[in-house]
Chain A
Amino acid sequence: MKKVSFKQQLLIELGITLGLFLLLQVLMNLGVITTYWKGIFITICINVILTVSLNITSGFLGELALGHAGFMAAGAYIAAVFSKSIALIPSVEFPLALLIGGLFAMLLGYLVSIPTLRLRGDYLAIITLAFGEIVRNVLLNIKFTGGAGGYSSIPKYTTFPWTFFLAAACVLLSRSLINSRQGRAIISIREDEIAAESSGIDTNKYKKLAFVYSAFFAGIAGALYAHYMGFLQPAYFNLDKSIEILVMCVLGGMGNITGSIISASILTILPEALRQIADYRMLVYSVVLIVMMLVKYAPQFQGLLAKFKHQKEEEA
């Protein structure tokens, strides 16, 4: 088989992305895809951004981050406050709001990364969890954004092309990050932090980079969500939301961007398509987490898998 160069692959992927976008856009314009499904597609794109960005910290850096909803909330609220208090033309205001949402989340990501650098994985999970809860608690107590009652009448700027291309940009950027020198440094920390450090990799710097990057996109996803719903409530950004993103990340495969896209799409559509089992959603998620981990890492299952593969090879 001829090896496809990176550039060629990029072109192919760009082609597929554009083609998919045009197809969806035409179908939407023709009314084949209803407004209801258009909403689902927007949610899918937002979830893709969230999942792919979480995958950078949890999948590639190998640190369990449980505060993704917190970054999302921060980005959502800041962007919403910005676009409500400033009156510019929407085509200028919206990108600015998105950027501000992303940058603010990025700043928080930087702040969170400082204490976590000194800590091992387990503590990091707890710190990010605490961070997410702090953000939610603070939002509940800010009178200015409506507290628990919610922040309403945010201009609804989010459209399908915006979310689609931002999701595509997030995927593309993440993939090039991972294939770059910086990305390899991040992966080396996951594989063996001490070995990475001894090889001269500034582990602190790359951990910060992964954190800040992931927070930035979570903030953008939040800003998109805010301008899509037009209404924000702190309760939405609870631990369940962070876990939901984690489930998408785990199901698609930690450290697999394509997997993240697929699982984010499936896990967004499934609960919509199967309304009657909506009550079981979180239960199914929890089972997914446990089973995925056992199948992937437990020696008993690996033995079984190896046996299965061996049998298949023999048959063939």
Chain B
Amino acid sequence: MSGVVMFFMQIINGLNIGSIYALIALGYTMVYGIAKLINFAHGDIIMVGAYLSLVLLNTGMHWSIATLLSILGCALLGFTMEKVAYKPLRKASRISLLITAIGMSYLLQNSFQLIFSANPKPYPAFINLPSLKLGSITISSNYYTTFIVSVLLMILLTLFVKKTKMGKAMRSVAEDEGAARLMGINVDHTISLTFIIGTGLAAVAGILYSNCYTIISPTMGSLPGIKAFIAAVLGGIGSIPGAVLGGFILGMIETLVKAYISSQLADTIVFLILILMLVFKPAGILGKNVREKV
């Protein structure tokens, strides 16, 4: 394989993993923008989505229904999580919310480990479209489906936030919760809705991810979760286009480092990027610098 073809293959790999990071990062960024909370359990929703769809697929259900049900299941989980664990602590200190979120993440991981055992399970991939041939490059159906589905969802989400009334409510709560409440916006509903959309997207990401890698385990969500968070920070946390951009950039960097520098050091380099980003431009590429008010 010539160097150029190899490079293009890597770019396609990067777009694939990048679109998954972007989907997860969207959930992080929306929840952070509105509830000011790093939802550590967000990465584990990917895993929950993957396992739910595995169980449903194993019952012989058609993939479309299984996917829809897993998305709904994850959204319900996100909704409950917010109501039970995060909402009571909305007025408490930041650190207590973070600790609760970590607790949630571990609760999900470990309960799934008890139910399904820690061993990885094969996932029956259901995306079986013909692969795309571009000259000497072959793109498998997983890759372009992941890319197309993610981009489509991102466009839909942007339209939702920009054009609909509920989207407007979300933006206003993110900007100033108190003022939004005074304008008659139901803040509780808006936050719940954000969690539902965020976790729904994470479920889609989980299903796409499992289709690509075809092996799932209870801890599969934690690393992509952390990386998606890094992507959200990179793009500017709280910003939707930022999360998408950050996701793609991170996916690209990770794939290229893996291919050309060292596959073992890829994670280290990704984490270093996070630290450097936070040192030099904590607001991220598209984020705004907000001063803390007294």
> Known interface pairs A64-B98, A137-B265, A294-B89. Does A126 touch B110 (Cβ–Cβ under 8 Å)?
no
Contact A119–B278 (Cβ < 8 Å): yes
What CA separation (Å) do A149 and B271 show in the bound complex? 23
Interface residues on A, range: 35 or more
CB–CB B100/A118 < 8 A: no
Which of A63, A137, A293 is B96 in contact with, Cβ under 8 Å? Answer: A293
Contacts A119-B278, A126-B229, A126-B233 given; indicate if A286 touches B88 (C-beta within 8 A): no
In the assembly, what is the distance between CA of A285 and CA of B107, in Å? 8
Task: With A134-B272, A140-B264 as known contacts, state yes or no: A62 contacts B282, CB within 8 Å.
Answer: no
A122 at the interface (CB under 8 A from B): yes
Q: Complex formed: what's the CA distance from A261 to B294 in Å?
A: 36
Q: How far is the CB of B59 from chain A (nearest CB, A)?
A: 26
Nearest Cβ on chain B to A314's Cβ, whole angstroms: 27
- The docked-state distance in angstroms from the alpha carbon of A214 to that of B2 is 52
B233: chain A residues within 8 A (beta carbon): 123, 126
Cα–Cα distance between A131 and B111 once the two chains are bound (Å): 27
* A73 → B minimal CB distance (Å): 14
The proximity string for B residues 108-144 relative to A, scoring 1 for CB distances below 8 Å and 0 otherwise, is 0111001000000000000000000000000000000
Partner of A58, one of B95, B103, B275: B95
Contact B99 A64 (CB under 8 A): yes
> Once the chains bind, are B91 and A129 in contact (CB under 8 Å)?
no
Q: Which of B262, B274, B282 contacts A130 (CB 8 A)?
A: B274
Across-interface contacts of A126 in B (CB, < 8 A): 38, 226, 229-230, 233, 274
Chain B facing A: main interface SS: helix
Known interface pairs A286-B107, A294-B100. Does A62 touch B93 (Cβ–Cβ under 8 Å)? Answer: yes
Contacts of B98 on A, CB cut-off 8 Å? 64, 121-122, 125
Mark contacts of B204-216 with chain A using CB atoms, 8 A cut-off: 1 yes-contact digit, 0 otherwise. 0000000000000
Q: How far is the CA of A292 from the CA of B96 in the complex (A)?
A: 9
Contact B278 A129, beta carbon cutoff 8 Å: no
**A127 within 8 A of partner (CB):** yes
Interface residues of B in 238-273 (CB under 8 A from A): 262, 264-265, 267-268, 271-272
Interface residues on chain B, size class: 35 or more
| Chain A residues within an 8 Å CB radius of B109 | 282, 286
Complexed CA–CA distance, A114 and B151 (Å): 37
Closest to A291 in B: B103
- A residues 271-290 in Cβ contact with B at 8 Å: 279-280, 282-283, 285-290
Judge whether B181 is part of the interface by a CB distance below 8 angstroms.
no
CA distance A299 to B92 in the complex (A): 9
Residues B48-107 near A (CB distance < 8 A)? 85, 88-89, 91-100, 102-107
Contact yes or no, B114 A123, CB < 8 A: no
Is A223 an interface residue, CB under 8 A from the partner?
Answer: no
Q: Check B176 for interface membership: any CB of A closer than 8 A.
A: no
Given the contacts A126-B233, A126-B274, A194-B292, A287 and B91 also touching, CB distance less than 8 Å = no
Q: Does A14 touch B at the CB level, under 8 Å? A: no
Contact check, B275 vs A290: say whether CB atoms are below 8 A apart: no
Please give 12 more A-B residue pairs, beta carbons under 8 A apart, in addition to A133-B267, A282-B106, A283-B114. Answer: A115-B279, A119-B278, A121-B98, A123-B282, A126-B38, A133-B271, A137-B264, A286-B109, A286-B110, A293-B99, A296-B96, A299-B91
